[in-house]
Chain A
Amino acid sequence: MKRLGVTAKLVFLSASVLMGLGAAVTLYSVSQMRALLYQEIIRRVEAQTLNWIEANTRQIILSGDPETLDRLAGQLKERQAIAYVILLDANGRQKASVAERQGLQELRGAPEGPDDRMHWREVKDRQGLRYFELTASISASGTGMNPDLGSLFGAAAENPTWGEIRVGVDRQEFDRSVDAMERRNVVLAAVLIVLAIGLSVVFTRRMVTPIALMGRAANQIAAGNLYERVHRGDDLRDEVGDLVRNFNRMALRLEQNRDEMNLLYSRLEEKVRERTKELEQANQKLKEIDQLKSDFLSTVSHELRTPLTSIKAYAEILLDSPHLHPKTGERFLNIINRETSRMSRLISDLLNLEKIESGTSSWTMIHFDLREVIRTVGAVLAPSAAEKGIGLRFEVSKPQPVWGDPDRVQEVITNLIANGVKFCPYGSHIALQLCRASTSGPERCVRGDYVRVEVTDDGPGIQPDEGHRVFEKFYQGAKNGSNRSGSGLGLAISKQIVLQHKGEIWLDSKPGVGTSFYFTLPARAPRSLKAQVVASSRREA
């Protein structure tokens, strides 16, 4: 079954009510008017007939000739609504007639007359035309005339009734006038009903359209289109108008809330993404650190095993070979001794490096003259250099103050020169130079007052791809076999020491030409530390 809208329902309702009412009122008024009209015609005909009888009784009784009777009847017939007139004598013989209808038949009794001398009946002629017929007796007495008059007519006195008159009223004519009136009424009622239905349609639509639109808008909102609004009926000053305005306010609020929520949500999502990324990075870093640690451990164990292998092998050989040549035995014991030193150096270097890297080593940072440190290094390394025929040249003429830990700086310079001595062939040269620099170095380029130390040799050089790796722990380059005496940590430690001083260390090398190592140290204490230093030196003073 098709769904009926509210508009249709309301229109049907009002239409049926109005039509029912209209029909009832119309029917009632028509029947009332019909009755009134009926009464009016009946009474008029009765009055006219009575008047006629009263005026003409004497003449009828006295003359009684047909011509006079016809004339008198014709007079009555002239009156409004009267269709025919018939006069009958007391014996029922027709005395006169005007416009007589043929074959009249009685249908039924009609309204009561005003007294027993008059009565109505309804008749029909041969053609089927209907008439109301009034029958009134014509008599000398009882007509309101002077009773003396009756005595004037002798014969009439014995028989006071002369006859009767029948007057026909055309039922069709009567009906026509009633019908015309009825039609007018019906048309009027119909026009009024149509007008009323039209108005009800207009008002209902005005009321229902906004509601229908709201229904549609609510559907859209439910589907997520929160920008949907109702633009009909929002100017109405009734409950529907209130509803529309409140609905629109609600939709606006919903839209704002959703926008806020979306914003919050996107921010939250962004935040979650960031955090997740951070966590992933941290996790990755931890994994890398873990991997580095395990790599480092396996490298350390490898590095420790190497001298240990020699120690064990030669010790067992010595134990198992009672007849070994004393010279060979001594050589083996020397190897054991050297490898033991190597191992202990490795261990102390490892601990040293670990301390610097973890920040637990202590530093004695002071202003000192770099010349003195260089002099000490020269004294220590001169014998081994001389042994290999390597010339050491230190180009240091004037005092060079720097800010740092003198023991650690000495360690760095010793490492660099000792490396040169170790890797350079017989007869090479190693030179050390100092100069001022305005930046920390090529990598970080921190501006400031620095002293740059250069250690240059004319040895075999380092391959370009190894340039950076030499500062890694345990990195020992493409060596020629005989130089595995170090721990492999010297340059790594040197780098950590220089970094601790906020300096930089780097190298420049051409295979076959030579290698230059550079590192920088601050010439002065950093500004933040200066006050402290001054204060402490004053205390000491």
Chain B
Amino acid sequence: MPKKVLVCDDEPYILESVGHVVREEGYDVLTTDNGEEALRLARLESPDVIILDISMPQKDGNAVCRELKSSAATRGVYIIVLTARGQEGDMRESYQCGADEYMTKPFSPRSLRKRIHELLD
């Protein structure tokens, strides 16, 4: 059974590109453009990795991280934050909220591909 990756970003083109990259590697990909839906899918589908944007309307990525890590069912999921916020304070905040990894936009699909393989194979 292929591993599952959940991608959450409010920018449709970025969401599509990340989804495309991960899907091409043979993993199951779930995509959503908002935090609430991401939480719902995480509980329902138990993905192995979540690639999460931070700046989103309504529920932002850090809030999603906190909720995922505070619930026993979703605590084990590996969270890669993928954000355009590149400042040190932003990174620290995301780690405090429970992110496992921090990547900044623009990202390189090659590196992302490599990283996903390392994590899931």
Contact = CB atoms under 8 A, between A and B. Distances in A.
Interface stretch (A200-208, A316-324, A377-385): A316-324
Closest 6 CB pairs of A and B: A305-B84, A313-B17, A309-B105, A309-B106, A312-B106, A310-B13
B20 interface: yes
Interface string B68-111: 00000000000000001111000000000000000001111110
A301 B87 CA distance: 11
Given A302-B85, A317-B20, A320-B110, A484 B12 contact: yes
A38 to B, nearest CB: 128
* Chain A at the B interface: SS class: helix
29 contacts: A298-B87, A301-B84, A302-B55, A305-B84, A305-B86, A305-B106, A306-B14, A306-B105, A309-B14, A310-B17, A311-B106, A312-B107, A313-B17, A313-B106, A313-B107, A313-B109, A316-B109, A316-B110, A317-B20, A317-B21, A320-B109, A320-B110, A335-B16, A339-B13, A476-B57, A478-B58, A481-B12, A481-B34, A484-B12
B10 interface: yes
B52 interface: no
B45 interface: no
A314 interface: yes
Interface of B: 10-14, 16-18, 20-21, 24, 33-34, 55, 57-58, 84-87, 105-110
Contacts of A477: 57
Nearest to B24: A321
B84 A484 contact: no
B18 A313 contact: yes
B14 A313 contact: yes
* Chain B at the A interface: SS class: loop
Contacts of B109: 313, 316-317, 320
A484 B58 CA distance: 16
A316 B12 CA distance: 18
A460 to B, nearest CB: 14
A85 to B, nearest CB: 146
Contacts of A321: 24
Interface residues of A, number: 25
Contacts of A317: 17, 20-21, 109
B109 to A, nearest CB: 5
B106 A481 contact: no
A335 B15 CA distance: 13
Contact of A309 (B21, B85, B107, B110): B107
Interface in A388-421: none
A316 B108 contact: yes
Contacts of A309: 11, 14, 84, 105-107
A335 B17 CA distance: 10
Nearest to B111: A316
A237 interface: no
A478 B57 contact: yes
Interface string A427-451: 0000000000000000000000000
Nearest to A338: B13
